[in-house]
Amino acid sequence: MSEPLHTFLWDKKLETDIELVDSQHKEFLKRANTFIIKLLADKPEEGVREAFEFVNDYLQYHFQAEETFLADSGYPAFEEHQAEHQRMRFKSKEMEALIAEGDCQKITKEFTEFINNWVINHILSSDRRFAIYYRELKGLE
């Protein structure tokens, strides 16, 4: 059983101390919260597709910007990191299909899992590993 849908608050433990990455993560969570509010509304089918497009467009932008940043930094685990982004891109395509079907209950479950996976497994793990590498590279450690 998945957790109930709720909005996400920025937490200091999510910070990488890389301004570009942190600001984009904050913006993504802000957009995700907009989508969640639409899902929790009395008539969630209204505006859900547009709200998800708003989230997904930014996610794609963020992944591209982050991948460029990682590649330019010579990050040795770039391909592994990029593969995680690809899995999340694929998951977002699945979400689009659910939205097209109009199954708000399933969308709610899937989106909760999607965001939790992104925050817990990606930001707190993969992005933090890159941040350590980047700070060492720049002599900030």
Question: What is the reported pTM?
Answer: 0.83
pLDDT in tens, 29-78: 888 888 888 777 766 666 778 888 888 899 899 999 999 999 999 999 99
pLDDT in tens, 75-98: 999 999 999 999 989 988 888 888
Q: How many Cβ atoms are within 10 Å of 54's Cβ, its own excluded?
A: 16
The structural domains of the chain, ordered by start, are 16-137 (1.20.120.50)
Nearest Cα to Cα of residue 66 among 25, 30, 13: 25
User: Position 119: which residue type?
Assistant: V
Contact 127, 12 (CB under 8 A): no
Residue 129: predicted pLDDT? 94
Place of tokens 């059983």: 1
Nearest Cα to Cα of residue 33 among 10, 11, 57, 17: 10
> 1 falls in which pLDDT band (50, 70, 90)?
very low
Q: Give how far Cα 120 sits from Cα of 16, 65, 102, 106, Å.
A: 13, 20, 27, 21
More confident: 78 or 13: 78
Output the six-digit token pair for 120.
């817990």
